Homo-oligomer: A and B are copies of this chain.
Amino acid sequence: MNYLKKWVWGAICLFLTLPSFSQEHPSIMLSKQNTEALRKGVQTYPLLKKSWKKVKSDADKAILESIEVPVPKDAGGGRSHEQHKKNYISMLNCGIAYQISGEKKYAAYIEQMLLKYAAEYQKWPLHPKRKEGHQGGRIFWQSLNDFVWQVYTIQAYDLAHDAISAGNRKTIESGLFEPILKFFTVDCAETFNKIHNHATWDVAAVGMTGYVINKPDYVQMALKGSAKDGKTGYLAQIDQLFSPDGYYTEGPYYQRYALLPFVIFAKTINNYQPELKIFQYRDQLLSKAIQTSLQLTYTDGTFFPINDAVKGKTYESSELVYGVDIAYADIKASAELLDIAEKQGEVVVSDAGLKIAKDLSEGKSKPFVYQSQLIKDGASGNEGGLGILRSGSNEDQQAVLIKAASQGMGHGHFDRLNLLYYDNGVEVFPDYGSARFINIESKKGGDYLPENKTWAKQTIAHNTLTVDQTSNFKANADLAQQSSGQVSYFKADKDLQVFSARESNAYPGVEMSRTTALLKVKELKKPLLIDIFRVNSEKAHQYDLPFWYKGNLVDVAPKIRNYTDQLKPLGSKYGYEHLWLNAEQAVPEKSGYLSILNNKRFYTVHFATNAPLNLKFVSLGANDPDSNLLESKAFLLSSSDSKDQLFFSITESHGQTNSVSETTTGANSMISDLKIITSDPNQASFSFKVKGKTYQYQINYNSKENFIKIN
């Protein structure tokens, strides 16, 4: 246990002897002593002014509408579901509006609504619908939504607290919040004591409520678990859910989601008990987690959509607005965070938002710097990790992510050694993300679709090797959870960035390794993406290495011919049943290329291998009776009967087209003559030509000093 951790634990043990908390309100995102400054700030600093304007407009709209507290009945996206979601947002907005404007009507709205909930809540049984495989809530179809509801609602209550009569406070606390505390800790005890993001929402809701309505016992349980032994609860979650690099094992989409209860509960703890120094806990882990969340986005702000991710989610989401505001105001005022706050276009109308908006208006912002980095996974940082290679400005950046991490629990995909490639503001080799139309009720209530299991999680849906048309670990998540990919090498020099990793468990008897580099050669403006996927086995297997791509194919060698009068699925399980086989072509030369035009830029993928090869083209959509799958297409480097094989590819980003001026430049790739020279367990070496000049590229798998050699 390091020093800071000891400190926090010591302080916690100390506080357990204290009988109760200071009852000053508000005391979470807004604090009483800061109210005057904030009231001036919303008139002064543009970003805060804009954010306040929106809050006030929403609050003004809310108070004009009748208060609706429907009996819970609908699934996600349905009417009662959306109304209860709307209610907590309206209450929070009104709470802020009350504090800023001092107008009682906003507090009265919260008071009336909470009284209505207090009158109804205890009559509601468990929600009649149930999100598949999830614990039910009472207000919503899963308890998670109830936890989230309470994290927002308790803030609204804290904000309106002093304007609500003592009698009504008693009614609300005894009729609503106390039953909720009981439901969250007793009925939902299993979730409460998990090491899981749902549990974080649960403990945050319980802990925040405990502080605000002065129930120290619940705060203790929130921090240390029901048994108060520290094996579960908030601190155990910080210890175990994040890696030392601040990576949350489920991936960026859930990292973002998990982050909010972590940081907002931390902020609450810090306000009520600053002596706990919670932001220092585990070497400022929460600060790292926020930084890592930002580093897990492409330059357009979207999160890398590995695992069960909803695509299009960006750091503009409210969780990161909270995260960035708190990180800047309460942990470390890094000028780069101001750049993100500015792109988010809003701040939380709060003490933290005031600080951000003030500093932004004073021109303190610096451009956010995206790093090439290795992000380790696992509570101890020894369960593999993500390699991120980046080159170019924030306006036109190549970004490569290779995933050699742990399974990532229930939302993990079977995608060991998966590769994602972005350039020029768009996806080049995308990840499918999850199969889900979030919040679209006609699509299974907005929940994960069956195709999330049959397709999105399967190995073939990803840019990595599938062996024998079977997913990693035969798609057994429990088995997959027992091991992780392993990082062999990472380096990020100016002209050469490399990440190398291996996977030994996904297929028994099959060793896989992937070594991916961005290599800048002087003949070309942009670095080349060089990818060496190596597989070794004593037995022969079928290998499929797909490249899911965006854009339109404009050239292929060897020449291919699509099937013209009939399409059939490529296989029958592990996701293959969803692929229409559009074309297949033997590649007698064992090498070839494909040129793709994507967002007015060309991507030519040259490939070479050392065993007989077929080039297959597939598109998504077979065995999809309900049109649940999105248009997607790939080419596969495919070997039907091979033991040791090495797939060598170079992707060149080149040229441009302009449909307005109707001009095309740089349409021809400058790369040629890919050759595999040697391939053995210690060393693999290759050559290729750039504008006729030969390059030799060598991987020394067992040499950290000389892992890659180029001449």
Cα distance A621–B627 in the bound complex, in angstroms: 17
Q: Which of B310, B311, B568 contacts A566 (CB 8 A)?
A: B568
12 CB-based A-B contacts, threshold 8 Å: A77-B664, A310-B659, A313-B659, A437-B552, A440-B554, A552-B627, A552-B630, A562-B621, A562-B626, A564-B569, A564-B623, A564-B624
Q: In the complex, are the beta carbons of A439 and B310 less than 8 A apart?
A: no
Cα distance A441–B317 in the bound complex, in angstroms: 43
Residue A610 interfacial (CB < 8 Å): no
Residue A625 interfacial (CB < 8 Å): yes
Q: In the complex, are the beta carbons of B597 and A437 less than 8 A apart?
A: yes
Residue A595 interfacial (CB < 8 Å): yes
Cα distance A626–B664 in the bound complex, in angstroms: 21
Residue A565 interfacial (CB < 8 Å): yes
Q: In the complex, are the beta carbons of A439 and B662 less than 8 A apart?
A: yes
Residue of B nearest to A441 (CB): B667
Q: In the complex, are the beta carbons of B660 and A597 less than 8 A apart?
A: no
* Chain B residues, CB < 8 A from A554: 437, 440, 442-443
Residue A13 interfacial (CB < 8 Å): no
Beta-carbon contacts under 8 Å, A303-333 to B? 310-314, 316-318
Q: In the complex, are the beta carbons of B562 and A664 less than 8 A apart?
A: no
* Chain B residues, CB < 8 A from A537: none
Residue of B nearest to A623 (CB): B564
Q: In the complex, are the beta carbons of A622 and B659 less than 8 A apart?
A: no
Beta-carbon contacts under 8 Å, A666-695 to B? 667
Output the least CB separation between A155 and chain B (Å).
Answer: 17
Beta-carbon contacts under 8 Å, A540-586 to B? 552-555, 560-562, 564-569, 580, 582
* Chain B residues, CB < 8 A from A631: 631
Interface string of A408-421 (1 = CB under 8 A from B): 00000000000000
Beta-carbon contacts under 8 Å, A621-648 to B? 621-627, 630-631
Beta-carbon contacts under 8 Å, A456-472 to B? none
Output the least CB separation between A254 and chain B (Å).
Answer: 13
Residue A446 interfacial (CB < 8 Å): yes
Residue of B nearest to A582 (CB): B621
Q: In the complex, are the beta carbons of A660 and B623 less than 8 A apart?
A: no
* Chain B residues, CB < 8 A from A553: 627
* Chain B residues, CB < 8 A from A664: 77, 82, 439-441, 446
Residue of B nearest to A580 (CB): B567
Closest 9 CB pairs of A and B: A312-B659, A442-B555, A439-B664, A567-B567, A561-B625, A564-B623, A553-B627, A316-B660, A317-B660
Cα distance A665–B664 in the bound complex, in angstroms: 43
Cα distance A442–B311 in the bound complex, in angstroms: 33
Cα distance A627–B563 in the bound complex, in angstroms: 10
Residue A438 interfacial (CB < 8 Å): yes
Residue A2 interfacial (CB < 8 Å): no
Cα distance A318–B659 in the bound complex, in angstroms: 12
Output the least CB separation between A389 and chain B (Å).
Answer: 26
Q: A310-B662, A560-B627 are in contact. List 6 more A-B contacts (CB 8 A).
A: A438-B659, A442-B667, A552-B630, A564-B569, A565-B568, A582-B621
Interface string of A187-206 (1 = CB under 8 A from B): 00000000000000000000
* Chain B residues, CB < 8 A from A313: 659-660, 662
Output the least CB separation between A312 and chain B (Å).
Answer: 4
Residue A66 interfacial (CB < 8 Å): no
Beta-carbon contacts under 8 Å, A426-484 to B? 437-443, 446
* Chain B residues, CB < 8 A from A580: 567
Residue A661 interfacial (CB < 8 Å): yes
Residue A663 interfacial (CB < 8 Å): yes
Q: In the complex, are the beta carbons of B661 and A561 less than 8 A apart?
A: no
Q: Which of A443, A595, A630, A660 has the most CB of B within 10 A?
A: A660
Cα distance A554–B626 in the bound complex, in angstroms: 9
Residue A657 interfacial (CB < 8 Å): yes
* Chain B residues, CB < 8 A from A446: 664
Q: In the complex, are the beta carbons of B440 and A561 less than 8 A apart?
A: no
Q: In the complex, are the beta carbons of A438 and B662 less than 8 A apart?
A: yes
Cα distance A439–B664 in the bound complex, in angstroms: 6
